[in-house]
Amino acid sequence: MKALLLGLGLILMAATAASAHDYKVDAITIDHPWAKASIGQAKAGAAYLTLMNDGEAADRLVAVRADVSEIVELHTHTMEDGVMRMRAVPAIDVPAGGKTELKPGGLHIMFLNLKGPLVEGESFPATLVFENAGEVVVEVAIEAAVGGGHDHSAHEGKAGHSHSHGSSATE
């Protein structure tokens, strides 16, 4: 009986930990904010998450604030003349009743001029600012940089930068 209770307790703790990485502000749910651990002396990093809008009106992520870097920008990747380019965008749309994924190779949050390394297993707070829903502070989990991700150290904190990637870029 004790083993059964202990097992149920562990399951409840795991479920609570999993749900603790979801956040909600107004009709917007933010699922699993995470950042890639930085590599070497990288001066830039990227974060990802999923935004779900349960409301009847569209919203937009218009800014992110975090103390881990001097500059935080919203970014996307676009294919131009067969070359993958990363660009800052003014906002990220979250459709009514829909979801928007920020993921490697697509939309993401860019941290430029990192103030220190992003260390796997650690986390940091970030404030997401929505046009209609307002602000919410989330805890961004730092996870392993896997799969040959692009080293952003060449950015050296240049706001509004753009650069070329091969077609297999993973942001």
Q: What is the pLDDT of residue 40?
A: 87
Least confident of 78-82, 86-90, 139-143: 78-82
pLDDT in tens, 8-63: 444 444 333 444 589 999 999 999 999 999 998 899 999 999 999 999 999 999 99
Q: Rounded mean pLDDT of 102-112? A: 96
For residues 1 and 65, the model is more confident at 65
Superfamily in which the 23-165 domain is placed by CATH: PCu(A)C copper chaperone (2.60.40.1890)
* Backbone region of residue 103 per phi and psi (left: phi > 0; alpha: psi in -120 to 50; beta: other values): beta
Instruction: Judge contact between 98 and 30, C-beta under 8 A.
Output: no
In this prediction, residue 113 has a pLDDT band, given cuts at 50, 70 and 90, of very high
For residues 70 and 162, the model is more confident at 70
Q: What is the pLDDT of residue 17?
A: 40
d(CA 106, CA 123): 22
Predicted model pTM: 0.75
Is the pLDDT at 86 greater than 70? The verdict is: yes
Closest CA to 111 of 156, 51, 62, 162: 156
- Alpha-carbon separation of residue 24 from 78, 131, 149 (angstroms): 29, 15, 29
- Write the burial class of residue 38 (CB in 10 Å: 0-12 exposed, 13-18 middle, 19+ buried): buried
Q: What is the pLDDT of residue 165?
A: 32
Tokens found for residue 13? 């703790």
Give me the residue spans of the domains in the chain: 23-165
Q: Rounded mean pLDDT of 3-10? A: 44
Three-class DSSP labels, 37-51: CCCCCCCEEEEEEEE
